[in-house]
Structure 1
Amino acid sequence: DAKGALREKILRRFSGRFSKPLHWQEKLEEWTKENVNLSWEEDKHSAELLELWRLSMPGREAPGRKDKAWAEIGFQQQDPASDFRGAGMLALKELLYFARDQTDLYCKMLERSKGATPQDEYPFACGGINVCFMLLDMMQLLQLKGAAGESSAKVNERYKNKRAASCRRAFGSLLLTFPDAFSHLFVAAFQVLDQEWMRSSRTYMGFKEVLTSTRIRVRAGLRDPYAKTPQEIAKVMLAQA
């Protein structure tokens, strides 16, 4: 009948409306596809590594691609490419962003990471790689990348972790206005790790605890309902020291 046809038409319209991903979800999915789990590209990433060395060690000749000298800026393997396996090449992009955008702060943190003795230092570059992985993991973006072919709306249904979902929504919303949002969050989160390290026992065995306390502060910044810009979120993260 006419009423039944009208009811069905309305249901179809609203069903279609609410099944579509929100704008922030679409933006998040686009960003994730472009940035997460990127593989090593020899020419591109070798050049970026050399630039990272020049910014980290001005005036020092850059080592070869496989050299123990990379440990001086905090890589753990003689071949730095091996250290990026967890977070992918996004971590190199963010380390380079930090070194370019806030060179003085970057160099101060690099110097501070070396400590007074080998016992109270941490591997700086690998610390940044850990921070990058942490951000991706707490928003479950590694899972989002793995769910290829699904819409972000469906992925949100699959991953019910409320804390991750709220962090993901906050980041996706930031991307609508701030294309470099992840880079800003990375720099702030790396500063949090530096703060936590400096007030810890500063032993290699205690680094896991430093990562845990860093994660708590970073998540609190992302989930703060009043922080609407990368700068405001960073302020919340860093104010917890």
Structure 2
Amino acid sequence: MFRETFCLVMFLFKKILPVLHLLIRPFIKWFLHTFTRLCELQRICYGAKAGANRTKQVERSLTMSHNRRIQELIKDLNQHVEHCDDNEFIGFSGRAVGIVMREKCIKPHCHPDFPALFGQCVTQIWGYKRLMIAVEKLRSEPYDAANIVHERKLLELWNELMPDTPLETRITKQWQEIGFQGDDPKTDFRGMGMLGLENLLYFVKEYRDAARHVLSHSMHPRFGYTFAIVGINITSMAFRMVKEGSAKTQFFNICKTAPNVDHFHMFYSFLFYQFDSFWMESEPRNIMDFSTIYKNFEEWVLHALKNDDTVFNSNPLIEII
């Protein structure tokens, strides 16, 4: 009875707390502004640690702003980020800095550091949105066997992983040696499209020794698994984390400017390498344990990403073996 009551109280507390925060937030902002003579964005830029901690707070502050011009700015940047070119994107930060300084009455000669600090956060925030769009574009591009570029990349994947074993024909059971399900890998890319292939290819080219190390584990007589299929599942995990926003911690910490697709590939490579270690340490009974181990690994990653100081470093992959 006590446990049920306690759970009910905690549930209600979690529901009520955000509402209370919204109600008292204007008073807190007024109080801090009165005594510090700084607006919320200034306090964040000057006081928060650079990286995820600062940029997440800036993004939250902008999102919750009631200032009409700032709301219009956010709406306009969100509308243009999908179709802007690199030169137009560079102008995002300058435009945002100008509007915020004008609306918040921030004098440049009194606060010379603010434009650079705030501008960097703007670049990271909308750079992440550009990354989401670029990754989604790759995911939605289906593998096309009639596309010579797609075919060339698939054959390159084989050659990188199996340099001493020529592929006999395009459609062959040999593909199963690197973890595809059947004779033709194109069917395995249906869920993640070209993103799945691009991730695998980046991993095996940029971290060749680490990738071959993982491939050798996938061929273990007791704990083996399907290398390519697991790799595509890791693509799905990385894509989900980016889309839901949990991966912001990683990208805001490793990128001082806007993250790009290569940063996503590096994030994927880290996840695949770490999943392999996680899998081997779990000593699965058979491949039927995959769902449980995959879920446990994802929960471990998500828990780590809740800490704003978390950085998944890919350097160990370069040094492997």
Shift, 1:64, TM fit:
2.3
Whose RCO is larger (CA < 8 A, sep 6+)? 1
Distance in 2 of aligned mates of 1:172 and 1:35: 19
Cα distance change, pair 104–29 in 1 and its aligned pair in 2 (3 A): closer
More displaced, 27-36 or 167-176? 167-176
Aligned residues: 197
**Partner amino acid, structure 1, of 2:299:** I
Shift, 1:34, TM fit:
3.4
Q: Is 1:122 equivalent to 2:205 in the alignment?
A: no
Q: Is 1:192 equivalent to 2:271 in the alignment?
A: no
Matched-pair identity in %: 28
TM-score w.r.t. length of structure 2: 0.55
Unaligned runs of 5+ in 2: 1-65, 79-124
Cα distance change, pair 135–11 in 1 and its aligned pair in 2 (3 A): closer
Distance in 2 of aligned mates of 1:177 and 1:169: 12
Task: Select the residue among 159, 176, 187 that pairs with 1:71.
Answer: 176
Cα distance change, pair 115–93 in 1 and its aligned pair in 2 (3 A): same
Q: How does 1:132-147 map to 2 (within 5 A)?
A: 132-139=235-242, 141=243
**Partner amino acid, structure 1, of 2:276:** D
Shift, 1:12, TM fit:
4.4
Distance in 2 of aligned mates of 1:73 and 1:63: 14
Distance in 2 of aligned mates of 1:183 and 1:131: 11
Shift, 1:76, TM fit:
0.9
* Preserved CA contact (<8 Å) 1:46 1:65: no
Cα distance change, pair 220–60 in 1 and its aligned pair in 2 (3 A): same
Q: Is 1:37 equivalent to 2:120 in the alignment?
A: no
Distance in 2 of aligned mates of 1:75 and 1:14: 50
Shift, 1:30, TM fit:
3.4
User: For residue 61 of structure 1, what is the aligned residue in structure 2?
Assistant: 166
**Partner amino acid, structure 1, of 2:267:** L
* Preserved CA contact (<8 Å) 1:114 1:122: yes
Task: Select the residue among 5, 9, 13 that pairs with 2:69.
Answer: 13
User: For residue 297 of structure 2, what is the aligned residue in structure 1?
Assistant: 214
**Partner amino acid, structure 2, of 1:64:** T
User: For residue 91 of structure 1, what is the aligned residue in structure 2?
Assistant: 196
Distance in 2 of aligned mates of 1:99 and 1:192: 15
Distance in 1 of aligned mates of 2:205 and 2:265: 12
TM-score w.r.t. length of structure 1: 0.72
* Preserved CA contact (<8 Å) 1:67 1:79: yes
Unaligned runs of 5+ in 1: 1-9, 142-163
**Partner amino acid, structure 2, of 1:128:** G
Shift, 1:98, TM fit:
0.8
Q: Is 1:51 equivalent to 2:156 in the alignment?
A: yes
Q: Over residues 45-94 of structure 1, what are the superposed CA-to-partner deviations in whole Å (9 max), with x where a residue is unaligned?
A: 21111111111111211142221110000111211011111111111111
Shift, 1:221, TM fit:
3.9
Q: Is 1:102 equivalent to 2:213 in the alignment?
A: no
Secondary structure, counterpart of 2:193 in structure 1? coil
Distance in 1 of aligned mates of 2:126 and 2:239: 20
* Preserved CA contact (<8 Å) 2:279 2:293: yes
Q: Over residues 105-136 of structure 1, what are the superposed CA-to-partner deviations in whole Å (9 max), with x where a residue is unaligned?
A: 1111101111124xx31000111000001111
Task: Select the residue among 205, 227, 234 that pairs with 2:288.
Answer: 205
Distance in 2 of aligned mates of 1:58 and 1:200: 30
Distance in 1 of aligned mates of 2:217 and 2:67: 61
Cα distance change, pair 136–71 in 1 and its aligned pair in 2 (3 A): same
More displaced, 194-203 or 180-189? 194-203
